[in-house]
Structure 1
Amino acid sequence: MDGGNDPYTDDDRYADDELYTIGELARRTGLPVKTIRFYSDSGVVPPTARTDAGYRLYDLNALARLDLVRTLRELGVDLATVQRVLDREVTVSEVAAAHAEALDAQISTLRLRRAVMRAVAKRGSGPEEMELMHKLAKLSDEERNRIVIDFIEDTFGGLDANPEFVAMMRSAMPELPDDPAPEQVDAWVELAELVQNPDFRARIRRMAELQASERDTGYQDGLHHELTETIRTKVENAIAAGQAPESAEASRVVDELIAAYAEAFGSTDGPEFRRAMLHRLEVGSDRDAERYWQLLAVINGWPVPPTLVPVFEWFIKALRLNAG
């Protein structure tokens, strides 16, 4: 007999000093009477005794049990698991370990959602782009890598391209951290869209084919970075000096750089060689190809390489005017 409302709810204590009414239990724990009654009805915190009229009373053990129930529930433990802990079917440490892992996953998800929303706000995205960003951002590491690997296999597959360069591309996978910054989410979305773009794939395929064709020439792969640095230094100096690609000074820069290329390829300077080098530079100098590496750097937290696009655009324009 409980009648739904205990007349002792507002009493400080029942006659027996070791027994407490629901009202006293509520004041001691800070839990609502309704919640304690629910736990009692569920068998989680059963009454210790009842009055002659059938109203529930609780002892100190019930109070301790209720404190444990409240703590576990506040930590997100479901009531069925709470009951198992109270029945000693599982230990608190086992439950804590399982819930810590679950919380780690939830925290990771929430951090990712936060980063996506901040990136959406920064980009001013609409509903469709926001949905795409969320879809791409929540992919697993393996799924993200698969997108990039498919791109590499499509563009370099079946070609005898520089194996060191291809190996470098295969090893440079996007690794979005558990707590990504908005710019990292933004970079990953842009990279995923870029590598799935058919036009970009076709351009990178042309680069790979050109690279493969040069394997039979005298060009030494090891000189690539040295040549790039030479071009960067000379062209940046020319630009800083205000020398336009159409100027006589630019013509002299072209002569010096083509001479360096001729030596690297084991060839000699001349109209045919210059036209071949112009074609090589036009195919190999691609803003999006450079952007690919910049985006990877942002995603992975690497130093972002400086752009060389203005340098090579200047050189290409100057060489086109001096190709012979």
Structure 2
Amino acid sequence: MVGVMDDNRLYAIGEVARRTGLSVSAIRFYSDEGVVAPARVTDAGHRHYDVHAIARLEFVSTLRELDAGLEDIRRLLDGSVTLTDLATAHLSRLDDQARRIRSRRAVLRTIAKQHTEAEQVVLLHKLAGMSDEDRDRLMDDFWAEISEDLQISSDFLDIMRNGPLVLPDEPSTEQLEAWIELADLLRDPGFRREVREALHATFSTPDAAVMTSTKMVDAFKRGGEILGRANDAQQAGAPADSPLGREIAAEYTAHLGEIAETPDSPRFRRKLAADVLNIERWHLEALEEEEASGDPYARYQSLVAIIDGSAQQAAEFKPFAWLSAALTASADHTLSPGRATRECPPSGDVAEA
């Protein structure tokens, strides 16, 4: 066991090696490079170190284990840079290395999963290393081709496109693999043709122009905001039959009432409560059908959801049962004797219910 060091004593290089865990050759190297000089060199060339030099050697050894370069260590020790500056710069380099490693892992996993020709390896590597600007250009080109002559509003087209596709600073292997597959598909003329034909078939009906209008897009966004509030309330543990629940139920009722041109009433709220659960069931069934059908646009959406993280968000988005309960509770609340609320005027609605 290494004992307590004496501030007034000089230590031979062999003892310094035992105390620091460095080899004698490493200590000599740092001395020869001018990083940590010995306190004294005898006429016979023996090097001796004081406690301050030993502490510097231990510090240098730690930095080297953290992969700091010798030149950076010199600059740190002579005061040219601070430890914070060195750590920040080195962390940035490590982050870059980690991104490259994840990119390479994604490429290798993709190669291992499929029969990849030699010429495809180069393409996969380029796809994984694309910048945000490169991805934007590829996405712009893809959407310009498949949406040409499509009779929908630009606002609805933005929703379909899912906005700019940006990989997070530290993407998972799954996200990189999804991007490689998506980028490969976006460049495939056959895939572009299939998506274009599918979209034109879907949005060529007379009702499509109405359903994809800017007005309906705004209504869709507003409904999404209310569902988001319901989801936040549910995750925060707020009871559906609470002032917050009644407030969100009233907001949702007013929103849907405006679209359907239907006045607020307990009956309407109960209908909306059932409809909300049907929306959830319909959404899940539609997703299952799309995955089973091999719809090219569904595959596009699935990959984008993995890349931008919305797949995880969608899995955690479960406001429907809570909102349904809030609508039902608010309908019952308006029928309680002596209660007249702003959500449901008592005039003809109680009789109607």
Question: Shorter-chain TM-score: what band?
Answer: 0.5 to 0.7
RMSD (Å), alpha carbons: 3.3
Aligned with residue 133 of structure 1, among 91, 111, 124: 124
Aligned equivalents of 1:111, 1:210: Cα separation in 2: 39
Query: In the superposition, relative to structure 1, how do residues 89 and 118 fare at CA in structure 2: closer, same or farther (>3 Å)?
Result: same
Aligned equivalents of 2:62, 2:154: Cα separation in 1: 59
Structure 1 partner of 2:154: 163
Instruction: Verify the 8 A CA contact 1:161 1:209 in the aligned structure 2.
Output: no
Aligned equivalents of 2:100, 2:141: Cα separation in 1: 26
Structure 2 partner of 1:300: 308
Superposition deviation, residue 69 in structure 1? 1.1
Instruction: Verify the 8 A CA contact 1:162 1:211 in the aligned structure 2.
Output: no
Structure 1 partner of 2:20: 29
Query: In the superposition, relative to structure 1, how do residues 179 and 218 fare at CA in structure 2: closer, same or farther (>3 Å)?
Result: closer
Superposition deviation, residue 202 in structure 1? 3.7
Structure 2 partner of 1:59: 50
Aligned equivalents of 1:218, 1:119: Cα separation in 2: 42
Structure 2 partner of 1:46: 37
Superposition deviation, residue 288 in structure 1? 2.0
Check if 1:81 corresponds to 2:89. Answer: no
TM-score of the aligned structures, taking structure 2 as reference length: 0.55
Superposition deviation, residue 152 in structure 1? 0.8
Instruction: Verify the 8 A CA contact 2:102 2:172 in the aligned structure 1.
Output: no
Structure 2 partner of 1:201: 192
Aligned equivalents of 1:115, 1:196: Cα separation in 2: 19
| Correspondences of 1:154-233 after superposition (within 5 Å) | 154-157=145-148, 160-206=151-197, 217=206, 220-222=209-211
Structure 2 partner of 1:152: 143
Query: In the superposition, relative to structure 1, how do residues 80 and 212 fare at CA in structure 2: closer, same or farther (>3 Å)?
Result: same
Aligned equivalents of 1:125, 1:182: Cα separation in 2: 19
Aligned equivalents of 2:181, 2:159: Cα separation in 1: 21
Instruction: Verify the 8 A CA contact 1:161 1:208 in the aligned structure 2.
Output: no
| SS of the residue 1:57 aligns to | strand
Q: Which amino acid aligns with 2:128?
A: A
Instruction: Verify the 8 A CA contact 1:22 1:57 in the aligned structure 2.
Output: yes
Q: Which amino acid aligns with 1:289?
A: Y
Superposition deviation, residue 180 in structure 1? 4.2
Give per-residue Cα distances to partners, 1:246-303, cap 9 Å, x unaligned. xxxxxxxxxxxxxxxxxxxxxxxxxxxxxxxxxxxxxxx9832332222222333334
Superposition deviation, residue 178 in structure 1? 4.5
Give per-residue Cα distances to partners, 1:14-71, cap 9 Å, x unaligned. xx97112221211111111111111111111112112233332221121111111111
TM-score of the aligned structures, taking structure 1 as reference length: 0.60
Superposition deviation, residue 157 in structure 1? 4.4
Aligned equivalents of 1:158, 1:109: Cα separation in 2: 40
Aligned equivalents of 2:192, 2:60: Cα separation in 1: 58
Superposition deviation, residue 92 in structure 1? 1.3
| SS of the residue 1:52 aligns to | coil
Aligned equivalents of 2:207, 2:69: Cα separation in 1: 71
Aligned equivalents of 1:113, 1:23: Cα separation in 2: 44
| SS of the residue 2:38 aligns to | coil
Give per-residue Cα distances to partners, 1:204-247, cap 9 Å, x unaligned. 44566667865xx565532899xxxxxxxxxxxxxxxxxxxxxx
Superposition deviation, residue 150 in structure 1? 1.2
Instruction: Verify the 8 A CA contact 2:146 2:192 in the aligned structure 1.
Output: yes
Identical columns (%): 44
Give per-residue Cα distances to partners, 1:171-200, cap 9 Å, x unaligned. 344443445454433332222122222233
Structure 1 partner of 2:134: 143
| Correspondences of 1:232-311 after superposition (within 5 Å) | 287-303=295-311
Between the two proteins, the alignment pairs up a number of residues equal to: 229
Query: In the superposition, relative to structure 1, how do residues 127 and 223 fare at CA in structure 2: closer, same or farther (>3 Å)?
Result: closer
Aligned with residue 117 of structure 1, among 95, 104, 108: 108
